[in-house]
Chain A
C-alpha cells in the first residue's frame, strides 16, 4: 500500500530534480529588476521557461536578489552558466555583473519531499546529559545566525565602497572626456594645437 504512494513520490521528486538541473540560479541581481527584464536578458541564450524570484524576507533590503531561471534543457542551462562566468554579464544596469550557478533543490520553495525520508524527533529531558549539549547547540545556532548576518552586512558595505569608488572613477573619466569633447567641439583644441605646432586629435565633428 505504501508502494504506489512511494513510487509516486519518487517520480515527483525525479521530475523535480530534472527541473532543478535545467534551472540556473542567478545572483547579484538588482532588486529593481522585473521579471520581463530578466526573461529578455536570458532569452539570448535560449528559451526561458520560467523565472522565479527568490524572496528576501529576512535579509537587509539592499541585498541583491537571486533569481531562478528555468531554461529549456540542461545544456542550455549549462551554457548560460559558463558564459556568464566567463564574461561579465550585466542585467538591467551596469557595471555590476550577475553571477550564475547551477540551482540546488534547496532553492525551490515549492519542492516536493524527498522520498523515503522520515523525520523523527524527540524531546530531551532536562536531566538527560544531552540536554545541556542541546542547549549549547541552540546557542551556537543563534551565534551562527548572528555571524551570518554580520557577514552579509560586511559584504554590503564592501560592495558599497567599491561602487562608490567605481562611480567616482567613471565620473572622473567622463568629465575628462566631456571636457575634451567640448574643447574639440568648440575648436579650442585645434587652435591650441595650431599655436603649439602639435597635431590635434580627433577629427572635427
Chain B
C-alpha cells in the first residue's frame, strides 16, 4: 500500500464521479472518471499502456477504459483498477491475419470483440501511460462520422474488429462487446481527446524479432487473463494483475532489479510478483508487486532471465514460468540490453514477475531520477515542470523508470542510453542517438531530481570486485577511466557512484580522491571507472556539452584521467641526504634507521628548520591562490533551483 500511497503523493490522482458500489463485501467503488497525473480520464476514453515484457520498446498498447473501480480494503495491492478493452495494432495480430486485410491504414487498430482471452483485461490504474485519441471510421449509422480534420489529427483509427475467439477480422462491429454497449465504442460527441502523446513513437516496432512473433500468437491465444466477466468479484480478488496477461508468455518485470538491497525504498516490491503471468491465469498470486510504483501492466511478459541475471537469479528460474517466450532469453538480453533504460518510459516497473510466488527481488530502486522519466515521449511536458515542484522523492518513486531492468543489464551493456527512446536494433549506438541523448538532457532542465542510490552492480554478486588499484590501472589502459571534478569534497565514493548512476545512467565504480594538503580543498575530485570505453566517452560528452548541476551549485566537469604509473619514484626523495662517510658514524647509522626528533644543537635541526620554513612559504602561497579561487567561484554562483519560465 505504501506504493499506492506514494503514487498518490506523486502523481496527482483524484476520483471523478462515483458510479456505484459493488463487490462481495461491498468494498468496491465504481467510478466514471478520474484525474491522474494531470489528465482527466473518463469511461470509454482510450489510453496507452506499455508493454511490460518489452520494457525497452516504445510500443504501447491501446485500450479503451470500460470500467473503473477501487477496492477500499487495504489488502489489495492495487486498489484502483481499470478494465481495458483492447484495440490491437496490426503488429499485435496473429501472423497471417493482418496480411489478408485490405486497405490497412497506417494508424489503424482493430477493436477486440467476441469472446475469449485477449478481449479485455484488468490493469492497475497506475499502469496507464497516457491518453490517446482513437476515432472510429466505421460507416455504421450509429457512429458519429468524424471530420477530415479530426481524422488527420487523431492518434489512431479503427473500423474493423478482430474476434478474439475465432481470430478473424470482422468488418462490422457487434452490438455489445465485453458487456459494453456499442454506442460507447463509436465516436461520441465530445469524447475525442486531444492527444498529447506523440504517435510516431508508437510506431516503433519491436526490434526483436522474437518478441514480435511471440507477442502475437501467444497473447491472443492464451491469454489467461481475460476477464470477460467483469464482476466485482473478480476484481475483488487480487488477481487482477494476472488477468492482465494479455501476453502471457512473458513475465515481465521491469523492476526486477537485480540486487537491490539497497535501495530500497521499495518496500513492497520485494515480493515478487507473482503475477501470474497471464498465462494461465490461474496463477494468481495476487501479489502484485509493485515495486513501488508501478504500473503494473497487463501484459506481462516474462522477462527473460536475462533481466535477472543480475538478480540473483534465483528468480529467474521462477520466472520462467509460463513463458513461452522465452524466446528471448539470450537474444533478448542483448537486444534488450540496448534499451536498458528505456524503461523509463513506461513504468513498467510494476510488472509482476511471475514467479509462482517466489519472491524475486525487486526492484530496484528507485531509479534515478525522474529525469529519466522525461524522456518518455508520452509524458506530457507538464510533467517535466511539475517535477521541479513536487518533492523529488515522490517523483522518483512514481516514475520508476524501469531502471530496474536496466540494472541487470548494466553490467553488460555499456549502452546506457537510457534516455534514448528508440533502441537501435543491433544495439549499437547510432550517432543520432548520441545527439538525442544530449538533447534530452536539456529537456530535463526543470527536473530537480534527487540522486538515488544506485542499485548494486551485477558484478558484485557474481565475482568479487578487484581491488581498486588494479581495476583503475586496467581502466586507464582501456580508456574507461574518467576524472570527475568539481564535486563537493565531502562526498563519498558511493555518493559519486550514485550520482553517476542517477544522472548519467551508467554503472560505475568510483573513488573520491582524498584531500591532502597539496590539493585544493574546495575542489572535490573522483576517479570513476565506467564499464566500457563507450560509456566513458558518452559520459564525458554529455557532461561537457550539457551541464549537470549538483545541489550545491556545482556543475560537474569530466575528462579522461591520466594517472601515475605504479611504483615508487625513481629518484630518492628530495630533501633526504645521505652522507658518504669514511668511517661509519653512529649518528648517521641512527639517522637512517630510526626516526626521531632532532635536538636544537645539531646541524640536522637547522636544516630541518629550513625545510619547515620553505614549507611555510609554500603553504602561504597555496593559501593565497586558494582564496582567490574561492572568490572567483563565489562570483559565479549558480542557482540550483530552476527558475520556472
Contacts and interface: CB of A to CB of B under 8 A. Distances in A.
27 contacts: A31-B573, A88-B605, A89-B596, A90-B591, A92-B576, A94-B576, A94-B577, A95-B607, A106-B514, A109-B512, A109-B514, A111-B492, A114-B492, A119-B491, A121-B550, A122-B548, A123-B546, A128-B445, A130-B642, A134-B547, A134-B555, A145-B523, A159-B574, A160-B574, A170-B607, A171-B579, A178-B582
A136 to B, nearest CB: 6
A96 interface: yes
A125 B444 CA distance: 7
B575 A121 contact: no
Given A31-B569, A112-B492, A125-B443, A119 B451 contact: yes
A24 B318 CA distance: 53
Contact of A122 (B448, B516, B557, B561): B448
Contacts of A44: 596
Interface stretch (B33-41, B458-466, B631-639): B631-639
A96 B640 contact: no
A92 B524 CA distance: 31
Nearest to B368: A121
B445 A56 contact: no
Residue among B489, B611, B642 with most chain A CB within 10 A: B611
B595 A27 contact: no
B633 to A, nearest CB: 7
Interface of B is mostly: mixed
Contact of B575 (A95, A137, A147): A95
Contact of B548 (A121, A169, A170): A121
Nearest to A125: B445
B551 A119 contact: yes
B577 A119 contact: no
A127 B546 CA distance: 11
B573 A30 contact: yes
Nearest to B621: A151
A120 B573 contact: no
Interface stretch (A69-77, A97-105, A186-194, A196-204): A97-105
Nearest to B494: A113
Q: Which 5 A-B pairs have the closest CB atoms?
A: A88-B608, A96-B575, A93-B576, A125-B445, A30-B573
B598 A124 contact: no
A183 interface: no
Contact of B444 (A30, A32, A88, A122): A122
Nearest to A57: B563
B392 interface: yes
Given A61-B564, A105-B490, A124-B546, A163 B575 contact: yes
A169 B603 CA distance: 10
Contacts of B389: none
Contacts of B483: 58
A88 B609 contact: yes
Contacts of B388: 122
A140 B636 contact: yes
B595 A37 contact: yes
Interface stretch (B118-126, B235-243, B400-408, B496-504): B496-504
Interface in B587-645: 591-592, 594-598, 603-605, 607-612, 614-615, 617-618, 621-622, 625, 629, 632-633, 636, 638-640, 642-643
Contact of A140 (B594, B604, B621, B632): B632
Given A121-B451, A122-B444, 5 more contacts: A55-B469, A57-B472, A59-B518, A121-B551, A124-B442
B445 A122 contact: yes
Interface string A38-63: 00110010000000001111111111
Contacts of B513: 57-58, 109
Contact of B519 (A131, A138, A148): A148
Interface string B552-581: 001111000111100011111111111101
Nearest to B392: A120
Contacts of A178: 582
A58 B642 CA distance: 35
A121 B369 contact: yes
A15 interface: no
A155 interface: yes
Contacts, number: 308
A5 to B, nearest CB: 9
Interface string B510-547: 01111111111101110100000000000000000011
B527 A57 contact: yes
B234 interface: no
Interface string A137-154: 110111011011001101
Given A88-B604, A121-B451, A54 B595 contact: no
B615 to A, nearest CB: 7
Residue among A28, A30, A57, A134 with most chain B CB within 10 A: A57
B495 interface: yes
B486 interface: yes
A61 B566 CA distance: 9
Contact of B573 (A32, A55, A105): A32
Interface in B439-489: 441-451, 469, 472, 483, 485-486, 489
Contact of B447 (A122, A128, A160): A122
Contacts of A109: 493, 511-514
A107 B512 CA distance: 9
Nearest to A34: B568
Contacts of B548: 121-124
Residue among B577, B610, B625 with most chain A CB within 10 A: B577
Contacts of A27: 516-517
A166 B607 contact: yes
Interface in B339-370: 369
A180 interface: no
Contacts of A79: none
A174 interface: yes
B444 A162 contact: no
Contacts of A91: 595
A173 interface: yes
B489 A106 contact: yes
Nearest to A148: B520
Given A109-B514, A122-B445, A137 B523 contact: no
A116 interface: no
Contacts of B625: 147-148, 151
A126 interface: yes
Contacts of A156: 574
B483 to A, nearest CB: 7
Contacts of A158: 614, 617-618
A160 B642 CA distance: 50
Contacts of B267: 1
B451 A88 contact: no
A200 B489 CA distance: 65
Given A135-B547, A162-B611, A93 B573 contact: yes
Contacts of B557: 138, 141-142
